Every structure is written in structure tokens, then in C-alpha cells.
Amino acid sequence: MTQQLPGDGGLLELRDAIQDIGVLPGVPADDDLEDPPTEKAWVASVKAATTTYWHGDYSSLSGTLPLLLRDGRAVARETPTDRVWRQLALAYQLAACLATQVGHPDWAFAAVEKQLAAAARASDPLMEGMGVSTLSWVLLRQGRWEQAQDVAVRKADALEPSFRTSTPTQLAVYGNLLISAATPAARRDDRDEAIQLLTAAEAAATRSGAVRAYGTAFSPVDVRTQKVNIALAGSNGDAGQALAFAGDVAVADITRPVHSAAYRVDVAQAQYQTGDSEAALATLLEVESEQPEWIRFQTLAAATVREMLESERRRSTPLRGLAARLGVDPTL
């Protein structure tokens, strides 16, 4: 399944902004650059772009993110403060996430390299931790499961906070790394390890409470949604257990729209696997109504629809309309 954003040129501009040849050693710099925005205006733009990402508006983000990266590099040259480097790291984190979502993990890997470099310039070990969490996700999407688990575990161990004196933000970064490690562990059929990692993450979330930091969110409900995903992963996924875990998730408490949608796609897969095709279709149609662009890039949603089509015998159903919109052959 190949999906594109409207106006695919935005993605090519994103690639060029990530793989900026002007920053390579030995390449003459382009001196004909417009004046960059002020630090305050640019930081506000990074915040707005983060909100756009978590609302699933990829077309809009792909149009604004290339300029955001270029402006960020210019702001960093003129005002190389820790705050600017931290925000530049967040901008590259957005670029890595968007590139991964739309099927370009190689671009994402290059963006993570720049995210980690900017975090180092900011002297911010927690930002570096989020960079490694992003890296783990990129490696997961590249099929490098063992490496994805290993880098996240090692960084979590390096940043493991004291539960007595740690700040909520420290716990949030640590917990996100544990979640990042749990997913590839489950893909590798190491379910016991995955559950242990999520148990530790949930303990951290209980201690931290709901936290928004470094372009993401962390809370007990965020960890509980991942239990559903973990139960479905690997060669011996357990859809019944996934639905049991889903019973502990209050969807209204999930603060990021895209995260809520991803969780419900997992639930739809579990519903289908337990024989409730009507509920699965209803869940997917609900997600599509809220996230029509985002869902087109979700391989699990397409896989669930494909499986449902193979057992569908009627010629005209809402399922076939959904299949066509997701790029799945509705004639199956």
C-alpha cells in the first residue's frame, strides 16, 4: 500500500530540509538567506507544529516543517542558546516522526541524528533521552527490532531516576524509553520482558502523573494503551488479553488525538481477531471520521481491513468503501 500526502512536493522539501547539503563540510554556504525570525517567534512556531503533528494534520505540517527547520538552523547560528538548541532538537524530532509516519524511515534516521546533535549542544540529557526514544521507534519501523530494544533499554538505564527525588519530567523521559523498548521486545516474542518494561513504566507514570514535556506526553493512561499494543504483537498475540487491557483504558483521558486514534486501531484489530467484525468496522470508521488523513498511513488499519475483506461476501458494504479509501483492493 502506497499513500501520498496532497501536494507530495512538501515531502520532497522535507527531505531536502533534513538532508541539507549546505551544512556538509566543504560545501560552500548559501549567503543569500532571508533574515531569520526572532527566537521567541520561532519557538512559538515549534510549539504550534508539535500541536499540528499530534492532531494528525500531516499535509499542513509537511508544508511548514521544512521552513521551520531552515529557520531553526539560522536562529541557532545567530542565537546559540541552550533553549534554541533544545527547540531545534524538538523540530528535528517532529521531522523524524513525520517522515516515519509517511513511510520514509531513512529520512527519519537522518533527522534523529540531527536531533541528538542539537540535544548535545543544548547540554540536555533528557532531550537526548527523547532522541533515543525517537531513534528506537525509527529502528522498529526499519525492522531492526533487537537494536530498537537495546538502545532504549541502555538509555533508560543511563537516565534511571530516583523515585524519591526525581522530577515528573525525568520520570516521563525514563518511562517513554521503557515504552519504546517494550514494543520491539514484544515483536521479538519476548512478552515477559515487554510486560516487565511496561510495569516499570506504569510505576513511573503513577509517580509522575500526567506530564507534557519534550514534544510528547506521559501518563498512566498512555502506558495502559501500550499494554493493548503489546498483547497483539509478535507471533503469539493474544487479542482476548488485548481487549481485557483495553477495559482499563479511559479513552477520554488520552490527550493526544493521534495517540487516541492509534490505540483504537489496536482495539479494532483485537475486536476482529475475537470474531466481532461489526465492532471492528465501527471502530475503524470512527477513527477515520476523526483522522481521515492519519489513518491512510497506518499499516495495521489496512491489514485489519484486508483481513476483513477476505471473509466479506457482500458486494456493497461500508467496509469496501473504507478499503478503497485506505488503498486496499476492495475487490478481494
Contact by Cβ (8 Å): 283, 264: yes
Q: What percent of the chain has pLDDT over 90?
A: 78
Instruction: Return the higher-pLDDT residue of 24 and 169.
Output: 169
CA–CA gap between residue 139 and residue 151 (Å, rounded): 10
pLDDT at 30 > cutoff 70: no
pLDDT band of residue 31 (cuts 50, 70, 90) is low
pLDDT at 4 > cutoff 60: no
pLDDT at 1 > cutoff 50: no
Contact by Cβ (8 Å): 90, 214: yes
pLDDT band of residue 28 (cuts 50, 70, 90) is low
Residues in contact with 185: Cβ distance below 8 Å, sequence separation at least 6, in sequence order? 149, 191, 193, 194, 197
pLDDT at 21 (0 to 100):
81
CA–CA gap between residue 12 and residue 3 (Å, rounded): 14
pLDDT band of residue 36 (cuts 50, 70, 90) is confident
pLDDT at 312 (0 to 100):
74
User: Residue 79: what are its φ and ψ, rounded to 5°?
Assistant: -135, 75
Kindly state the average pLDDT of the residues 39-45.
Answer: 95
pLDDT at 58 > cutoff 50: yes
pLDDT at 64 > cutoff 90: yes
pLDDT at 3 > cutoff 60: no
pLDDT band of residue 8 (cuts 50, 70, 90) is low
pLDDT at 258 (0 to 100):
95
pLDDT in tens, 102-142: 889 999 999 999 999 999 999 999 999 999 999 999 999 99
Kindly state the average pLDDT of the residues 221-232.
Answer: 96
